[in-house]
Each structure stands twice: as C-alpha cells, then as structure tokens.
Amino acid sequence: MNDVAPQDSSDEGGTVLSTTDSGPIPAAATDEVVRICQELLRIDSTNTGDNDTSVGERAAAEYVAAQLAEVGIDSFLTESAPGRASLLARIPGADASRPPLLVHGHLDVVPADPSEWRVHPFSGEVRDGYVWGRGAVDMKDFDAMVLALVRQWRRTGWVPPRDIVLAFFADEEAGSTYGAHHVIEHHASWFEGVTEAIGEVGGYSVSVSDDLRLYLIQTAEKGLNWMRLTARGAPGHGSMVHHDNAVAALCRAVARISAHEFPVELTPTVRRFLDEVSDAYGVPLDPEKPEQVIATLGPMARAIGATVRNTANPTMLSAGYKTNVVPGEAHATVDGRALPGHEDRFLAEIQRLAGAGVEIAYEQHQPALETDFNGPLVDAMAESLRHYDAGARPVPYMMFGGTDGKALSRLGIRHFGFAPLKLPADLDFTGLFHGVDERVPVDALRFGVQVLERFFAHC
Ligand SMILES: [Zn+2]
C-alpha cells in the first residue's frame, strides 16, 4: 500500500508503484533537466483524440514513476481506459497545516508528421542549443523541470515549505476526459485542501528590449464552446424546385457566423496585460481598438488578438450522399471560444446568427476561467523571475486555448500558467505549440529549473 496516498474508498483502479533502492545520482537539477526532457520526448505519447489510436501515455507515466522511485518518491498510477494513464504523487512539506500546492503537467502530445520536421519529432535530439521534439514546449519541458527539481530535493534532503501534490495527466490535448477530469472525479482526495496550482501555459518571456522582458503568467483562459450545428429541410430529388434545402440553410448559417465580428471586450486580465504591453512598448492603448498595441507583440498577435473578443471558427461540414439527392439534414461544427463571463451571451449570439431553424448543441463545453493576479503565490513567482532576470516584468495574461486548469476549476482550484522560460528575443514561441520543429532552448530549461527552485522555496 502506498503510504503517502490519501485514504479514500472512492479511489479505484489504480496501481501503487513502489519505491526501489537507488544508487548514486550525482547530477544537479539544472543538468538533469535536459536528459529527462530528452527521455520524455523519446516516448511517443501521441493523443489522437481516439482511445484506439492514442499511444504512449502509460509508458510516459511509468517513466515518470521510475524517475520518482529512484529517489524514494512513491506514486500512484491510474488508468481511465487501457493505456490512458495519469500519475499522482505527494511530497510532504515542512508545514502540514498549510494547504498543499498542486504542480501539474500533462504527458500526452498532439500528433507530429516526421516528414515535415527537420529532426525526428520523437528523437529528443539536442541541436543548436535546443532540445527538439513533439512536446518540447507543450509540455514535457515543464514535466522535466519538475522531475529534475524534486529529484534534487530528495538527494539533498531539502523539504518544501508546504506539501506539494504532483499530477501528470493524460489526455490534455483532447479535452482531458481521460486525464484530469477522470482523475478529479475518481481520486479527488488527492486534491483535498488544494486551492492553488501551477502548470502550463505561462511564465515565458517576450522580449521588449535587451533589458526588459515581459513574463506572461496565465491567470485566465477562454472557454471551450465546441458546437455542432444541424440544419433540417425537406429531402427530395435534386432536379426539382426546392426551397427547403438543409445544405443551403446550413451554408447560410456558417457564412453568417464566420463573417460576424464579435465586439472587443476587455476582461480585467486582458486590460491589465494590454496596459503593461502599452507601457513597455510606448504605444498608447485605445481600449475600444487595442489592435495597435497587440500588433507590437509580433507573431503572438494572432493568439493575443483572440483574447479581446469571443471567437467562432467553422471547422467541419458534412451533408448529403449523392449529387441528385437533397438530404434532409446538414451538419457543421464551430470551434467557439468565449471570454470569461460571456458564455451565455455567446451561445445566444451564435444561435441568432445561425437562424431559428438551425439546431445548436455543445460537443464540448468547458468553462472560461479568470483569477486575480495577486497574493503570496503570485509574489513568489514575480520575485523568483526577477531574481534570475533583472529585466523581468511579470504580467498576467489570458490563454487563448484551454488547459487542465478547466478540470481543476471544478474543485475550486486557482490555476496559474507558470512554466518559466527565458526565451531568445527572435523565437516565435507561440508558433511552436503544436507546430513543426517544436523545440525548447537548453538554457531556458535550466533557467526554468532555477526559477522554480526559488519559487518553491518561497511558496
Ligand atoms: Zn499543453
């Protein structure tokens, strides 16, 4: 039995991975982080969104368990379906009366086509000062930093000020059903007392000048509002006069939705972020028209531009089976993303655009999140960044996509994106997420370990 696992009769289907004796493990965390990142990248843990074709999450979780076991940390592996493994561990802190801090990462990655890459996406190769591979920034880099650090703690006997709960989830890349959602539904006792968490996507730098870098700490994320539109009409022969055509009705709905410009609405996080960007670049902010300030962010502008308004992009169409038959139904999917506090109005607006005859159902609906950028945990993030980068200016920002923070919010946990990386000024970092030639600078990995080490000492 796992002596660190919380006792909970609702826990089910897990495997306790026991500690083994370890030999000498000499490397410091800043050295080990590269090896661990490489080894994680070599485990192909592609999440296709389909349990039959997704691979490697269990191998990745077992690898993490072995890295923990080597330094005497027990862990608990749970599968939501065959192969869909997540791993939990708890590191006792000095003051057990304080709420634990959750540190979470995911072990799955999105697919990668080797023919498009300069290096093999599952090689973990170090080249030109970068570690290359699918997951290098999303998010085996952070997984490796956390593992390297906790291994160092055990080797040196260092104890964090409060308990740390480690979670390595499956299935983040397909909505977390088989990962974080499963784990909090079946093993909630692991998170008892947890009010705050750190994980992806944030803590990385955007260079303004040689001596000023914004570090984007995620305090908000847009909602996931994936919709399926269904238009119905009278089926019949394609050669006749036909006014009630489902395909035509669906196309009109999709065209209206895609042409619609949602109004700019700045939530507190986005307003503060744009004020900071405006100040850093010396470009005045017009809150009604923030595009000029957003444009200063270069390649990031497309992503940040999605955080000032709701968005709805049509993504799939299906209807019909023969050229001379008018089908009775036509379908489309829309990738909708609503701002925090906007979700009901957003759905109503999409329904108005689609028209009364078009049915809309949620395929995926996960909430938008927003938390304050203040408190001791935020102070510890800011201080640790400034300690290792005198030009650091930590700023809150809203994530355009989603993270496991959505699942954790069901337990009332505040999620912060804080996976610190000091990046080269000319690197298009956001373009690397799910992108070709995903890679992370070796120096940035080491910087992240140092910042996190200091952060944990003051958390
Ligand atoms: Zn991710």
Strands, DSSP E only, in 200-271?
A: 204-209, 212-221, 224-232, 236-237
Query: How far does the centroid of ligand 1 lie from the alpha carbon of residue 148, in Å?
Result: 19
Q: What is the pLDDT of residue 15?
A: 55
Query: How far does the centroid of ligand 1 lie from the alpha carbon of residue 286, in Å?
Result: 32
Query: How far does the centroid of ligand 1 lie from the alpha carbon of residue 396, in Å?
Result: 18
* Ranges of the chain with pLDDT below 70: 1-27
Query: How far does the centroid of ligand 1 lie from the alpha carbon of residue 232, in Å?
Result: 38
Query: How far does the centroid of ligand 1 lie from the alpha carbon of residue 120, in Å?
Result: 20
- Amino acid 403 reads T
For 387-414, how does the pLDDT look when each residue is reduced to its tens digit (9 = 90+)? 999 999 999 999 998 999 999 999 999 9
Query: How far does the centroid of ligand 1 lie from the alpha carbon of residue 352, in Å?
Result: 33
Q: What is the pLDDT of residue 76?
A: 98
Q: What is the pLDDT of residue 14?
A: 57
Query: How far does the centroid of ligand 1 lie from the alpha carbon of residue 199, in Å?
Result: 9
207 forms beta bridges with: 213
Query: How far does the centroid of ligand 1 lie from the alpha carbon of residue 72, in Å?
Result: 28
Q: What is the pLDDT of residue 249?
A: 97
Query: What span, in angstroms and rounded, lies between the C-alpha atoms of 85 and 171?
Result: 9
Instruction: List, in order, residues 6 or more apart from 107 with CB less than 8 Å away.
Output: 40, 45, 57, 60, 61, 64, 86, 87, 140, 143, 168, 169, 170
Q: What is the reported pTM?
A: 0.90
